[in-house]
Amino acid sequence: MNGERPLTRDMKPDGEPLSLQEYERAGGYRAVRQALRMAPEAITRLVSDSGLRGRGGAGFPTGQKWSFVPLGAEAPHPKYLAANADEMEPGTFKDRWLLEGNPHQLLEGMMIAACAIEADVAYVFLRGEYTLAARRVERAIAEAYQAGYLGRHPFGADRGLELYLHVSAGRYMCGEETGLLNALEGKRANPRAKPPYPQVSGLFGKPTIVQNVETLACLPHIITHGAAWFHGLSRGVDAGSKLYGASGKVKRPGLWELPMGTPLGELLEEHAGGLRDGLKLRGLLPGGASTDFLTERHLDVAMDFTHVEKAGSRLGTGTIIVLDDRTCPVGMVWNLEEFFAQESCGWCTPCWSGLRWAERLLDGLERGQGSEADLDRLEWIVKFCAPGNTFCALAPGAVEPLGSALKYFREDFMAHIRERRCPWS
Of all helices (H) and strands (E), which one includes residue 258?
strand 254-259
- Chain centre to alpha carbon of residue 161: 25
> Parallel, antiparallel, or unpaired for β 121-126 and 162-167?
parallel
Domains in the chain (CATH in brackets) are 20-232 (3.40.50.11540), 241-324 (3.10.20.600), 329-419 (1.20.1440.230)
What average pLDDT does this structure show over 236-260? Answer: 96
The answer to whether 98 and 106 are in contact (CB under 8 A) is yes
How does residue 88 score in pLDDT terms, banded at 50, 70 and 90?
A: very high
Side-by-side strand order, sheet with 241-247:
254-259, 241-247, 319-324, 281-285
Confidence of residue 272 (pLDDT cuts 50, 70, 90): very high
AA letter at 309? E
Q: Is the pLDDT of residue 307 over 70?
A: yes
User: Which pLDDT score is estimated for 152?
Assistant: 86
Look up residue 39 and give its DSSP letter. -
Give the span between the Cα atoms of 180 and 190, in whole angstroms: 8
Provide the pLDDT for residue 425.
80
Whether 406 shows a pLDDT value over 90: the answer reads yes
Query: What pLDDT score does 232 carry?
Result: 95
How long a stretch of residues is the chain?
Answer: 425
Per-residue pLDDT averaged across 108-122, rounded?
Answer: 97
Which stretch of 114-128, 170-184, 219-233, 303-317 has the lowest confidence by average pLDDT?
A: 170-184
Q: Is 317 helix (H, G, I), strand (E, B) or coil?
A: coil
Q: What percent of the chain has pLDDT over 90?
A: 90
C-alpha 219/C-alpha 104 separation (Å) is 12
- Interaxial angle between packed helices 372-384 and 355-366, expressed in degrees from 0 to 180 and rounded to the nearest 10: 160
Q: What is the mean pLDDT of residues 380-406?
A: 94
Mean pLDDT of 27-41: 96
26-30, 132-136, 224-228, 391-395: range with lowest mean pLDDT: 391-395
Rounded CA separation 285/271 (Å): 17
Q: Give just the sign of the alpha carbon dihedral 404, 405, 408, 410.
A: negative
Separation CA 30–CA 13 (nearest Å): 24
To which H or E segment does residue 364 belong? helix 355-366
Sign of torsion, CA 215 54 266 400? positive
| 2, pLDDT greater than 70 | no
Q: Which has the closest alpha carbon to 348: 194, 198, 191, 202?
A: 191
pTM summary value: 0.95
- Dump pLDDT digits (tens) for 6-25: 999 999 999 999 999 999 99
Mean pLDDT of 87-104: 95
Task: Label residue 1 by pLDDT band (50, 70, 90).
Answer: low
Residue 257: pLDDT over 90: yes
The arithmetic mean of pLDDT across residues 66-83, rounded, is: 95
Torsion of CA 112, 113, 118, 119, to 10 degrees: -110
Residue 353 has pLDDT above 80, yes or no: yes
In this prediction, residue 153 has a pLDDT band, given cuts at 50, 70 and 90, of: confident
Q: Please, what's the b/e burial string for 81-90 (b: 16 or more CB within 10 A of its CB; e: otherwise)?
A: bbbbbbbbbb
Say what angle helices 400-408 and 329-343 make with each other, to 10 degrees.
Answer: 160
Are the C-beta atoms of 224 and 34 separated by less than 8 Å? yes
Mean pLDDT of the 186-211 span: 94
